[in-house]
Every structure is written in C-alpha cells, then in structure tokens.
Structure 1
Amino acid sequence: MYKRCTAFANVLMLLPLLWALLLVAVPLAQAEETPEKTVRIAYVEFPPITYRDENGEPAGLFIDITRKVALEAGFTPDFLYLPVSRAYLYLSNGQIDAWPGVSNIPALEGEVLESWASPMPVQLSAWYLEGKQPLAHFSQLQDTRVIVIGGYTYGGLLYWLNDQAGITVTEAPNHRAALEMLKRNRGDYLLDYSEPVREILLKPDDDLLRESRVRSRNLAWLFSLASPRAALIRDAFDDAYIRLADRGEVPPVRVLNRGFVVPGFPEKYR
C-alpha cells in the first residue's frame, strides 16, 4: 500500500513537468505544419525608390510599401542589398523570394511571377545639356556618346546600345558622377531614371541639365519561380496591397497601361 501511494505521489509530482512539455510540444508541432513566413527580399540602389541608408538599412518609397504589404500579407520581410545583376541571378536560382523592381524585364522572362499590383510608375529619361537637341526619336542616339549607370541594364536596353556601331557607351559609377561627366562634355546624353536624378539636382550648375522622356515603366514585385511558394506569395501580396489601398495606407490601385515610349525605341525592350 505504501509503495502504491509513493508511486502515485511521484506521478502527481511529474504532472506539472509533463504539462509544461505538452505546452511546448504543441506549438512546435503547429510550427512544423505552418508554411515558412519569412520572405527574402532583394533591393538595389535606386533612390528614392529603394536604397541603403547611412545606417546600412533598407529605405525608400518602395521599401516602405513593401514592408507594409509583406506584414499585411502575414510575412516577415528579410531584406538583402544586392547589385542589380546579382538580384537577377538570385531570382533565377531561388536564393531570394522577391524583388521590388520594374516589370517586363526580358532577361527575367520565364524566371519570375509579377504582382498584379503596381504602386507607381518610373520614368527612364535622356538627360542632356541646355542648348543641345532633346531626344524626340531614339534614332538620334546614333553617332553620339551615351553615358549609362554601372550595374544598370535598363531592362536589357544596355545590350542593344553596346551592339550599335554608331553609339559609344560610357559607364559612370553612380548618378552624381554621370551628371558631372555630362556637364564636362564626356557624353552627349545620359540615360538614367528620372526619380534618382531629380533627387540629387542640388548644385547651381545642375540647372543646365534638361530631360527628355524615353519610356515609362511600372514598379512591381517580382517573385522567383524557382521557389514553390511563388504563386502563394504573389497572391498574398496582391490581396494585401488591395486591402491597404482601401484603407488609404498605400497608393491607390493603378490601372496599368503600356505607358510612354519614345518613337524609335527598340521593340524588343519595350
């Protein structure tokens, strides 16, 4: 009888421990059944849209929207700063889940799913000095010197430019250096996006610069098809964006169109 009472008492003493173990085990089992909620997101140097700030943290208009959308969709964003070419590679091989970039990139055809939602457009421009001809037709680039930004492919347009015998392409390391090269007559036109250039037009002689529209493009989230979650994450982001737009927390849902394209622009890269 004494042995039975002792054994019963031992069981009673073990019950709190068993209960604690059960409380730990249940969430662990549920976690194993729940899909991974971290989304690995690349971003590139494209101020004020996306960039790395002075503290080494992701920043920019599209980064802020991406954070809101990811959290609303139930994901935790994990941002990774990359050169543009590396972002393309990581999307292709699945090392990242997504990239807040531009839509319709020929090099990524068949490699990504694009979001239906697009928070804003971006504009590619031809910058030139006062007194020179605006770029009214893309054929005007023949027999000229064109400055481009290192690491940018311009949606593949860079390859076309390099293949043209009558166009001399010069690479600048960043937007500011490109503007200074243009002002020093080291190029006739600078191909660069309007948003990052306008962000740095601060010097007195920057008022000599003029701008011609080349083409407009849509910002979008690009999801790696190398990930089995691509469609799931894309749909979750789109749905989350619509909810946030309805609440006025992100720009309104846009009706997408082809946008502006300067006459003569290479058809393959439109």
Structure 2
Amino acid sequence: MRRTGKTLFTLALTALLATGAARASSEAPVRIGFLEFPPFSYLDAQQQPQGSMLAFAQRLAEQARLNVELTPYPPARLYHNLATGTTELTLGATGNPAISQHVLTGKEVIGWIDLRLYYPAGKSAPQLPQGLRGKRLLLIHGFTYWAPEARQLLDDPGLQLHLSKAHSHEAAIELLQRGRNDYLLAYQPPIEEALAHSGGVALQGITLHSLPVSLLLSRHSPRANELQARLEQAYAELKNSGELQQWRQRMHLRTEQQAPDY
C-alpha cells in the first residue's frame, strides 16, 4: 500500500512538472526590451544580445518557467513600447518620469548604479554648482538625465552651461581627454566598461545620484499582473537560495545606495 501511494505521488509530481513545462513552452515569450548599456546589455559583433543583466533576466525567466524575446531599442522607442505594452518588461532604474505611470515596479531593488560627473585625471573636483558656471558639459546622445541632482544643473540658466553630446561613451572619453569639453555627465557602468578598453585613459568622477535598478513591467500588457507575480516569486527563490547574490557580483551592482560625494 505504501509503495502504491509512493508511486501515485511520483506520477502526480511528474504530471505536474510536465504541465508546468508544457505551459512555459506554449506561452508567448515575454517581450523584454533593453538599451545599449554595456556591460549590462548590448549587441555583440554578430548583433546578438549580450550582457550580464540580460543573462540575469533570462535566468529569472527560466526560474519562472517563462520564455523570453530580447530586443534592443533606443531610449525613446523603449519608453514608447512600455507605454503601449509592445514591450512587456525591462530591467532599469526606477523613478523615470517618462515611464513611471506606465510600469509596475518590482518590489525589491536588484542593485544600484551611479550617475557621475567625470573629469580628466589630475584635475580638481568642481565645487557644485558654481564650479560648472560657463563650463563645457558633455552628455551621451540617446540617454536621459532625469535624476533631480542632474536636472538642478542642466535646468539652471544661471550656470550658462555649454552643452554638447557624444554619440558613444568611447567618443565622450576621447573628447574629454583632448580638452574639447570640461566635464562629462554619464552613468558609471558603460563609462567604466569603455575605460577598461581605452588603453590606459584615466578619469576621475563624483557621484551625483545613485539609482535603484528593478524589474519594470508594462501596465499595458494583458498579463502584467501575472508576469509580475511569477517573476517576483522566481526572484524570491533565487534570493533564498543565495544565487541572487552571485548574480549581483557578476553584474557589479552595489547592494546599497551611494550618497552624493560632493
């Protein structure tokens, strides 16, 4: 009798797992949009999605028994897609006013990234905001700078900033090193990645704002609530098993907010 009961339990468990696998394979893939934000997310030489955060998104979806479809977009297009449900999920900074009303934000912070003001090595850090008065400030084309500390600088007419944009992080570093600009406002991960491949170029920087990174699900997807529940359950499972901390280390994400250091 015990053997029969054990056999029935095994059969039931097998059927349950098979049902879950069949459900995952039959469901439409989760449409994940991402920005070119190396080393977190980018297209390689073969135009294939790569990056530590995309790998984490795929692992999280696997834990939730979901398939994914990864598509790169420029920021404006990604924000539009989240506002219409064309893109269902992205991993990004929370609080962006361009999309905040259109997304469900994950309950937990995956990690923190910094918005920094960079300047050539050997130069003294500016006293903000007065130290930027009349200076040439470089931005990265396609990126948004909505953090309050950034807007206080960029929207202050009294600073008389001379703004220009570079089309890549590598180009921005070169312009700064050649003295074509005085300062560069940029997010730390892609700048650090570009510096690692720049052949010894060194920059200094001060942190203006530390941004929390989380799951951002479009409210306009018909299955938004279901996806959020399943992904957050998967997130909790990875956290409880200790795997989440390994992913944070792989992504070089801090687990605590960095206070402005100016």
> Which segments of 5 or more consecutive residues in structure 2 lack a partner in the other structure?
1-18
Provide the C-alpha distance between the structure 1 equivalents of 2:66 and 2:39, rounded to a whole number of angstroms. 24
Answering whether residue 140 of structure 2 is matched by residue 149 of structure 1, we say yes
Greater Cα offset, 209-218 or 42-51: 209-218
Q: Larger Rg: 1 or 2?
A: 1
Provide the C-alpha distance between the structure 2 equivalents of 1:100 and 1:144, rounded to a whole number of angstroms. 34
Aligned in 2, Cα 1:36/1:156: closer, same or farther, shift over 3 Å? farther
User: Is the 1:144–1:188 Cα contact (8 Å) retained in structure 2?
Assistant: yes
> Which segments of 5 or more consecutive residues in structure 1 lack a partner in the other structure?
1-26, 264-270
SS at match of 2:243: coil
Provide the C-alpha distance between the structure 2 equivalents of 1:125 and 1:210, rounded to a whole number of angstroms. 9
Aligned in 2, Cα 1:40/1:204: closer, same or farther, shift over 3 Å? closer
Aligned in 2, Cα 1:160/1:153: closer, same or farther, shift over 3 Å? farther
With normalisation by structure 2, the TM-score equals 0.78
- Tell me the equivalent position of 2:47: 56
- Tell me the equivalent position of 2:205: 211
Shift, 1:104, TM fit: 1.0
User: Is the 1:125–1:213 Cα contact (8 Å) retained in structure 2?
Assistant: yes
Shift, 1:100, TM fit: 1.2
- Tell me the equivalent position of 2:61: 70
Shift, 1:150, TM fit: 0.5
Shift, 1:191, TM fit: 0.8
Provide the C-alpha distance between the structure 2 equivalents of 1:136 and 1:219, rounded to a whole number of angstroms. 28
Provide the C-alpha distance between the structure 1 equivalents of 2:36 and 2:129, rounded to a whole number of angstroms. 26
- Tell me the equivalent position of 2:7: none
Answering whether residue 200 of structure 2 is matched by residue 241 of structure 1, we say no
Kindly provide the amino acid, as one letter, of the partner of residue 223 in structure 1.
L
Report the identity percentage.
28
**Aligned match for 1:229, one of 223, 230, 237:** 223
| Aligned ranges 1:140-219 → 2 under 5 Å | 140-155=131-146, 163-165=155-157, 166-201=160-195, 202-204=197-199, 206-207=201-202, 209-219=203-213
Provide the C-alpha distance between the structure 2 equivalents of 1:226 and 1:160, rounded to a whole number of angstroms. 32
Shift, 1:246, TM fit: 2.0
Shift, 1:188, TM fit: 1.0
* Aligned length in residues: 232
Aligned in 2, Cα 1:224/1:138: closer, same or farther, shift over 3 Å? farther
Provide the C-alpha distance between the structure 1 equivalents of 2:28 and 2:129, rounded to a whole number of angstroms. 45
